[in-house]
Amino acid sequence: MWAFCFILLTSYATLSECKAAAGKRHDVRHFPDGFLFGTSTAAYQIEGAWDEDGKSENIWDHLTHEDPCATKDCSNGDIADDSYHQYKRDVEMLRELGLDFYRFSLSWSRLLPTSFPDKINEAGVAYYNNLINEMLKYNIEPMVTLYHWDLPQKLQDLGGWANPNIVDWFGDYARIAFELFGDRVKYWITMNEPREVCYQGYGFVSMAPRLNIQGVAEYMCAKNLLVAHARAYHIYDEEFRALYGGTIGITLSTSWYEPESEREVEAAEDTTQFEWGQYAHPIFSESGDFPPVMKEKIAAKSTAQGFYRSRLPEFTPEEIEYVRGSSDFFGLNHYTSYLVYRNESVYTANEIPSYYDDMESMVYQPNHWDGSASEWLKKTSWGFYNLLMKIKNDYNNPIIYITENGFSTTSGLDDDDRILYYREYLDAMLDAIEGGAHVEAYTAWSLMDNFEWLAGYTARFGLYEVDFGSPERTRTPRKSAFVYKEIVRSRSLDWHYESDSTSMTIDEGH
């Protein structure tokens, strides 16, 4: 049926026609045995305590303090959800939801205030030990991200991900994290969404450090970040895996890129290769390296623009081997889709280097797609199905963990739009699983409202609402929390389930 949907769309049918074709909502569908459910957060978005107990400054502290209204509501993460002090309540919420695992990230500058291994901040270690031990008491597995966008500012001063020395710096940090927590943490994620780190932060202005060095810095970042990821992978693989038996991989941000018309199939594929193939191809393809289309297009443009070499750095043959296969699973963050069309001169006839000019295509979302509180996020679950099938087909059916998926609203506990989003996306995921995709885990973003980067606190992704005006940052379950809890409990998707409860209880065994 989803394949049917895809055909309809590519032959110019409207999305609503496509949706009308999706008629499965009356069946109760079951998730496969052993399928895992969790929720996700990230350190800077929830912890607060930005300078407490020896933590040093990271790039988000720096950005939000230097330029307080860089964020939509002139807010920052100084306190955020105050999880540094409220972690017991966080774990209580995981128990209320009956989850199998919780994905959170470590703050590099909290653990290593100098950025380097010469000084380990014991208070930071204690915080993560407390959190992990509290979870394990209730059989909730930690899934730990090493890097979710909060680089120590000192390393940024040294060039951050544009400096190849970061391979050593990140490797050292990763080894310390494995040493400290590897006895209890069995799921490791090296990096969250390299595309957003590099494109938004180095090639553009929508994430710290907002360098805006287009067509150059994002590619330098990409290469170093991939090698740094591989360094952490190999350290775990060689020094810790036999001891602890865990699993380690990378999480990529992936949208679905749909050709605007039949003529745009190539443009959509090129866009896919630039947007996340850039990171997936070096790791998950058989040949490794950046996607051929990126190498060709960027080299040709660079020459035409007067550069002496391609703006896309080359991997050495050793680096290609080092990065290839360096992920035990495909960590997948997915939210939305775009339409694509070819546009060969995005900026002034190719004179100014830029990422979209290199890609020679444009992406957009039609107005009639169902929106959220984030302008980039439209509900398009057919794209999720297509994406999962593409990953299965292009990369030899890897194990996939959905490490983020979710929907934003403004405030309020009545979040029917979020419930609909989760149901449609889980339905599409089940279709992909039936189609042979190897999806083993699903993670809702997010456990609770939190600091949504440059959107501040204006877009809410939480299953739990957070009252940012209260000293304890009081957390209250939304309607969607009760629905997600029932999905996890019953291990099935039942469109008829409705809950009118307002208070959560903890079920036996949690």
What separation in angstroms does the CA of 250 have from each of 69, 174, 346, 464, 470?
Answer: 32, 13, 31, 27, 36
Q: Single out the catalytic residue among 193, 264, 424, 452.
A: 193
Residue least distant from ligand GBE (Cβ): 376
Q: Does residue 404 have an active-site annotation?
A: yes
Q: Does 333 bind ligand GBE (CB under 6 A)?
A: yes
Q: Find the distance separating the first CA and the last CA of the chain, reported in whole Å.
A: 37
Question: What ranges in 24-121 are assigned the alpha helix state H?
Answer: 43-46, 59-66, 83-97, 108-111
Q: Which is nearer to ligand GBE, 2 or 445 (CB)?
A: 445
For 58, residues 6+ apart whose C-beta sits below 8 A from its C-beta are 44, 107, 108, 109, 150, 151, 152, 153
Among 81, 150, 193, 357, binds ligand GBE (CB under 6 A): 193
Give 105's strand partners. Answer: 145
Q: Does 258 bind ligand GBE (CB under 6 A)?
A: no
- Would you state the structure tokens that stand for residue 322, as one six-digit string? 């080092």
Min CB(459)–ligand GBE separation in Å: 7
Min CB(377)–ligand GBE separation in Å: 7
Q: Single out the catalytic residue among 47, 218, 258, 404.
A: 404
Min CB(417)–ligand GBE separation in Å: 15
> Under DSSP, is residue 436 helix (H, G, I), strand (E, B) or coil?
coil
Q: Does 218 bind ligand GBE (CB under 6 A)?
A: no
Q: Which is nearer to ligand GBE, 196 or 237 (CB)?
A: 196
Whether 404 contacts 40, CB under 8 Å: yes
Q: Does 43 bind ligand GBE (CB under 6 A)?
A: no
Q: Does 90 bind ligand GBE (CB under 6 A)?
A: no
Q: Which is nearer to ligand GBE, 175 or 475 (CB)?
A: 475
Residue 47: count other Cβ atoms within 10 Å of its Cβ.
30
Q: Which is nearer to ligand GBE, 100 or 218 (CB)?
A: 218
Q: Does 42 bind ligand GBE (CB under 6 A)?
A: yes
Q: Which is nearer to ligand GBE, 180 or 363 (CB)?
A: 363
Q: Does 452 bind ligand GBE (CB under 6 A)?
A: yes
Min CB(423)–ligand GBE separation in Å: 19
Q: Could you tell me which stretch among 10-18, 181-189, 190-198, 394-402 binds ligand GBE (CB under 6 A)? A: 190-198
Residue 456's Cα: distance from chain center in Å? Answer: 17
Q: What HEC string does 349-416 produce?
A: HHCCCCHHHHHCEEEECCCCCEECCCCCCEECHHHHHHHHHHHHHHCCCCCEEEEECCCCECCCCCCH
Whether 190 contacts 252, CB under 8 Å: no
Whether 43 contacts 80, CB under 8 Å: no
Residues 358-387 that bind ligand GBE (CB under 6 A): 376
Min CB(449)–ligand GBE separation in Å: 10
> What are the residue numbers of the active site?
193, 404
- Positions in the binding site for ligand GBE (CB under 6 A): 42, 45, 192-193, 196, 253, 333, 335, 376, 404, 445, 452, 461
